[in-house]
């Protein structure tokens, strides 16, 4: 894995998930598996089979998160970022047709489960980086170039 950028919030959320898996969920599931195994025939024991599968999934996620934190770099907000689009920014854009979009630029590992987060590697994020309010950006899409205008930049959750 290469270096993985995470916002401070994303870093904390993934750290909390890892702690929860290791300290709470995995021990509870291990107890259930041990109890189900003590009942005897495991081939027809649904509790055993289901929780054993659940345990494998948890172990996979624990391994993934542990390896992620070996290469993760937490990027903290700094006041010098104000007024320009950088990693962790909330950006509101408008196109020529008057359509608006709003999103946050985050690392690849943070976009899951968030409709309004985009990856730092996306064409839209790359086009926005370093720009200011009222700047025009061009995004290269499969349907050609699209023009957008930056309406707002914030480093706190927009209201």
* Local confidence band at 83 (pLDDT 50, 70, 90 cut-offs): confident
Q: Which two tokens stand for residue 132?
A: 């200011």
Rounded mean pLDDT, 38-59? 88
> What pTM was estimated for this model as a whole?
0.83
* Other CB atoms within 10 A of residue 142 CB: 5
3-state secondary structure the chain: CCCEEEEHHHHHHHHHHHHHHHHHHHHHHHHHHHHHHCCCCCCCCHHHHHHHHHHHHHHHHHHHHHHHHHHEEEECCCHHHCCECCCCCEEEEEECCCCEEEEEEECHHHCCCCCCEEECCCHHHHHHCCCECCCEEEEEECCEEEEEEEEEEECCCCC
* pLDDT of 1 strictly over 80: no
Tens digit of pLDDT for each residue in 122-148?
A: 999 999 999 999 999 999 888 889 999
């Amino acid at each position: 894995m290469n270096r993985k950028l995470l916002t401070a919030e994303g870093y904390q959320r993934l750290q909390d998930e890892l702690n929860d898996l290791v300290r709470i969920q995995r021990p509870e599931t291990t107890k259930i598996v041990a109890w189900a195994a003590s009942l005897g025939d495991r081939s027809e024991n649904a509790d055993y089979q289901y929780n054993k599968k659940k345990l494998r999934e948890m172990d996979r996620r624990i391994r993934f998160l542990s390896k992620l934190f070996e290469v993760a770099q937490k990027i903290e907000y700094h006041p010098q970022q104000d007024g320009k689009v950088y990693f962790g920014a909330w950006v509101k854009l408008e196109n020529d047709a008057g359509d608006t979009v709003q999103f946050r630029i985050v690392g690849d590992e943070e976009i899951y489960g968030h409709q309004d987060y985009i990856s730092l590697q996306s064409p839209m994020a790359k086009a926005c980086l370093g720009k200011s309010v009222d700047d025009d950006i061009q995004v290269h899409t499969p349907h050609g170039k699209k023009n957008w205008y930056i309406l707002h930049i914030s480093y706190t959750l927009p209201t």
